[in-house]
Structure 1
Amino acid sequence: MLAPKQNMKPLIETQEELLLDYLLHLEKHKTGQRAVYIQLSMLQRHNRRDHHIRLAADTFSQLIKSKKGQLFILKNLDIFFAYRGECHDDVETSIFKLRYLFSEDPFLESKIENLKQPFQRYFNVERDFRNMVYFLRNNARPAIQNQEKRQKINPPSHQLKFEQDKQLTPQSLGALAQALKNTDLTNMIRSETICSLIGNAVPQILINELFISIEALGETLIPLINLKNRKWLYYHLTEIIDKRMLATLKKSNHFFGKGDICLNLNVSTLLSQEFAHFDDKLLASERNTVIVNLQLIDILSNLSEFATAREYAKYRDYRICIDGLTHETLNLINTERLGTDLVKITWSSEGLESAYKNNLSGLFNTVGTPRVILCQCNNKEAIDFGHNFGIGMFQGLYIEKIIAEASIHRGLKTTASGF
């Protein structure tokens, strides 16, 4: 149930100490339990007033009243809500309502959320209890840290090995690879929809793109290391993550049978033994629902390897998508010769004027607009740009916002929420 509050300014120590006591209880009763951490603290100050926090807490009121969940408001006004796994769909619906409520806040409207921290973070308590405690330890200060010392809740041991590191090194990469072998990455798999959008109609979901959140991975395993500061080490890290994601997907049918999915992989991963094992586990009918997303820079770094990977993928009935093209590079790359099924072009408002000047419509027609996906569409300007050139497939935060709004109005979850 909701912990006591006074004029929406909770007794901070009491709230956080209550949370700690609850965690100690939860550690002994983890089976079937889940939790979500909602970072209201990332919103603008004018969106964190008392009535906003009260409204956010009230979205979970039915679950609280039915004793299916317990909610805590922390010092920074973030919300921690623990609940039974059977209520997960109801919790996701509540999250959709919250995202809609604050949809105009810069944090949710821009790329900040994806690059820095997600608005909400889910935990499978049974699997990720220690990781969850570590996360709370760093976000619910100071009471939990002080109480933690006395009551002996400790962060995962594999994190402690990295605490003195500040950048990715070959040594820390090797240790991270070893840690990843024993880490369940299910909760770090994120999805973003690719939709068809015609006029003012509600977007129709065509593809769910799956990827491992590097930010979530870093915060969970090595919170003090900048994973992207060494280009080639980061590339090797993505290869490791590719293979772990394939192993995770191979063990679960949850991601298949709900339409087409897109996997972000390296070219080398497509030719790896891990991908062959993944392929062996799929039914023939499942293979043609999988699109492999390859970065242009990865393709160009070794064209012969790419050609081999492309032919293998097509032979096994997978489709290939090139990612990383822009309005500036589109006229430099012969996408027809690369022989892929789909092409992703990154939207940028900076290219709007030059796009018209250079008459890119001819190039789009050469590629074939039915094969083009305009991505990073974070505002309506991007959609208008795509429609001007006959593009019908879009991806980005603006699309996700429209889907969430439509879902709220219908009182239904979208297909994408199944991921």
Structure 2
Amino acid sequence: MQIASLPQQTVQGQDAALFDYAKRIARKPEGRVAVLLHLSQLTPDNRREDRLAVAIGHFGQLVQDFEGQRFHLAGGDIVFACKGARLQSIEEAVTRLRYLFADDPLTRGDGFGTWYVMEQDHAAFLEMAYRRKELDVARRRLSQDAHDQAGETEGRPLTPFQLAQLEDALANTDLSAIVRNQAVCAIAPGEAPQIAFHEIYVSLEDLARTLLPGVSIAADPWLFHHLSRTLDRRVLVQVSHDNARSDRPFSINLTVGTTLSPAFRRFDEVIAESLRGRLVIELQAIDVLADMSAYLFAREYLRERRFKICIDGVTHLTLPFIDRGRLAADLLKLQWHPDMAAGLPDGAADDLAERVRAAGTAGVIMCRCDGPEALDFGYRLGVSVYQGRHIDALLARRD
């Protein structure tokens, strides 16, 4: 299920401040030490705001005494940096922090923190800070894109009371009337489309029109994220009934959390063995970036069960921040927008083509292709796989 936006669970803005700090100390790194605490990898119970607030406070005295700075990063990690403090004093503070989370598996290995002694590790520290800043920029852009798309949907925002009503209705509703499928096709210039697989999805417009007329169910990101989980479970049941024994490859769009749920395990148990290695799980980029530790866990599980992974919800503005190789995803969906052909500044199209090549043209799908100009531009980028209404029309013409 596609999600409109995710609630921000951490302080914003300190990723950029960390990068500024890393650049500022480059000329005089002597005596400076930093530790990156990987608190984003704690279990959900231990990532509660009250516990993280205690964690941040652990370095209060060191901050006062040794030009210390704390950075609470958007993903949930914390960086503490200072000058002139004894390494033992910092290690003692980190040890006390380990005790705070002693019941968490993260504290039992070497993954709790990464140390940087600036005289020898400044280059690595600067690279880490740069990557964190870029990741935060990507999160923000994806969130804004999703917010803008949700804002385009007409109707009153969904309320908590209506959400409860909707979830009750979904429990007893046959979704077959609002489940759609759309072909994803390989298309060479001048040739007919060849179907690679079909995406199965719920039409949100039809869902709202059927159950809550006049209401925009995607307008409130908090409520829509909650609704997405319910829809995911119902879609998995529907797909299991209609498609799991089919030999036709397909994709479904789920939240990261759903892939780790009992509902998904039940779905996994009933799909045809012939679909192994051919069934695609689409995950929204904003969902992936919101909780990288959950994504990494889900990725390993999906790969073990021989599902392909597709990162969805990527635009030409956010593509520079999504590294398909680093995410180890099989596919990436790049959304077509008319601005890509008409509104890009000089050189931007070439830069976009280079980024598509870096992502691997064979693994990039251009989606939302509503007209022939999408294919024309996609060919310029080297893209060969497409999805959208124009592709549907080409298929109908072929048949």
Fold equivalence (TM over 0.5): yes
What is the rounded CA distance, in whole Å, between the counterparts of 2:295 and 2:381 in structure 1?
Answer: 29
Could you tell me how far 1:362 is from its partner in structure 2? 2.3
Cα deviation digits, residues 288-319 of structure 1 (max 9, x gap): 22101111111111111011111110000000
The answer as to 2:377 corresponding to 1:388 is no
**Counterpart amino acid of residue 314 in structure 2:** L
How far apart are 1:209 and its partner, in Å? 0.5
Q: Distance in 2 between matches of 1:332 and 1:346?
A: 15
> CA RMSD of the aligned region, Å?
2.1
**Residue 256 of structure 1 is aligned with which of 246, 270, 292?**
246
SS in 2 for 1:251: helix
Which of 370, 374, 380 is the matching residue for 1:378?
A: 370
| Contact 1:327 1:355 (8 Å CA) reproduced | no
Whether contact under 8 Å (2:315, 2:335) holds in the other structure is yes
Distance 1:386 1:253, change over 3 A: closer
Paired residues for 1:107-126 under 5 Å: none
Cα 1:355–1:368 shift into 2, 3 Å? farther
Counterparts in 2 of 1:347 and 1:226: CA distance versus 1, 3 Å: closer
Q: Which moved more, 1:173-182 or 1:334-343?
A: 173-182
Classify 1:326/1:229 alpha carbon distance in 2 versus 1 (closer, same or farther; 3 Å).
Answer: closer
Letter of the aligned partner of 1:202 in structure 2? A
Partners of 2:221 and 2:309 in 1: CA distance: 24
Contact 1:267–1:299 (CA under 8 A) maintained in structure 2: yes
Misfit runs of 4+, over 6 Å:
none
Give the C-alpha shift of residue 263 in structure 1. 0.3
| Residue 237, structure 1, aligned to residue 227, structure 2 | yes
TM-score by structure 2 length? Answer: 0.58
* Number of the residue aligned with 2:206: 216
| Aligned equivalent of 1:176, options 136, 151, 166 | 166
TM-aligned CA deviation for residue 356 of structure 1 = 4.1
Q: 1:224 to 1:326 in 2, by over 3 A?
A: closer
- Give the superposition deviation at 1:213: 0.9
CA distance in 1, matches of 2:346, 2:236: 38
Alignment of 1:69-218 (within 5 A): 167-218=157-208
Q: Deviations for 1:201-249, whole angstroms, at most 9, x for unmatched residues?
A: 1111111000011111122222243212211101111111111010112
Question: Cα deviations across residues 263-306 of structure 1 (Å, max 9, x unaligned)?
Answer: 01111111111001111112322232210111111111111101
Q: 2:395 aligns with which of 400, 403, 409?
A: 403
| Unaligned ranges ≥5, structure 2 | 1-151
TM-score (norm 1): 0.55
Specify the SS of the correspondent of 1:193.
strand
Partner amino acid, structure 1, of 2:275: E
Match of 2:289 among 300, 303, 310: 300
Aligned counterpart for 1:279 among listed residues 263, 268, 293: 268
Q: Contact 1:249/1:255 (CA < 8 Å) preserved in 2?
A: no
Structure 1: stretches of 5+ with no match in the other structure: 1-114, 118-164, 408-419
Q: 1:308 to 1:254 in 2, by over 3 A?
A: closer
